[in-house]
Chains A and B, each alone.
Chain A
Amino acid sequence: MSKVYLALQDNDEARYIVEAIEEDNPESTIIHQPAMIRIEAEGYLVVKRETVEEKMGRDWDMQELHLSLITLGGNVDEDDDQLSLSWNE
């Protein structure tokens, strides 16, 4: 299996998103780098709107992710409720 990943700017918004990702992807690894946070996992990673909303305590649109997103690796599937990354092998 190959790693999928995404990197977020290290800002306040991103901390909630990272928290949500950690909860939804217990196998993921969080790496703090200068000014950015990289999250990687084997094969599959998902960001769920509901979990982020829970962490932030407000409505959150999936597309708001793009305000903090720096880069990603993997095939993207985005809808109203989640964005997932995966490799087909």
Chain B
Amino acid sequence: MSIQIKTSTLEPVRNTFAHIERRFGDKPATRYQEATYDVQAETNFHYRPLWDPQHELNDPNRTALKMADWYAFKDPRQFYYGTYVQQRARMQENAESNYAFFEKRGLAERLPAEVRDLVVRFLIPLRHLEQAANLNNMYGTAYGYGTAITQALLYNAMDRLGIAQYLSRIGLILDGNSSDALQEAKGYWMNDAVWQPLRALCEETLVQKDWFELFLAQDLVIDTLMFNLFYVQLDEKLVADDGQDIAMLTEFMQEWNKDTSRWLEAVLKIAVSESEENKTLMTEWISKWRGKAAEAFAPLAIEMLGEDALTIALAELDKRVAKAGIK
């Protein structure tokens, strides 16, 4: 039997799923939309969690922040799993070729000893901070609400694990895979007086309960200061000290920051503009964690870069906060 297909009879019956149509109208939807909106279940939970009987399994009340629609948190990058991993795969390919080049040319051996020491004392221990960031972003993934923000938090959590592993590889490149540099750096993280306030801050973030507050503490406050101090100011110092080749090994982090900032700033803006209550709450949270973080970073910043470094980083944070609509 020959099959006749008339194009006119192949008109679709509908363009997209009903919940997507309700939000965006009756037209073909993007893959981001279909993969994100209203995916998480919202009602009729059968059992209270044994580990948190005050809440339902999916519960918007695990933060004090209130949103009329949690799907307002559109990711400007429109990352769903497929676009996320493909974007990161491109970045990792680039990183891989940088690391290979660095090793092949024996660039580690050309680094001045001071640079090596700076990297081991100040850059490598950051892998432990990244591990805390991984856990804190997982926290938001697990206890946050609405796929729009929880999936982005998960992508960030996995990014942070990746960055922790890249930092570890820098250590292995410097110590010829003996792991001496990693051990030395962990020693600084555990015992060096200038690192202790920051380690204490990381431990403090790990016992927080409100996931949105924790998101602000980690992804906004700590990360903004961390990025500015280590990947901007320390980077400049390394260049000045003849250690510019290290920048090849941190290019991934530079690209990650650019990418993630776009998302972070969008989330801040959306949450702040939702209501005066949110704005007040966020102002309090940010000021609380800004205070803690400024203290925690201070000795490290002075030892690593000098007296003005933290002021510069804090100005960067304040600028970002102001940009989101918080004075």
In the complex they form, whether A and B have CB atoms below 8 Å apart is answered with no
Chain B residues within 8 Å of A, Cβ to Cβ: none
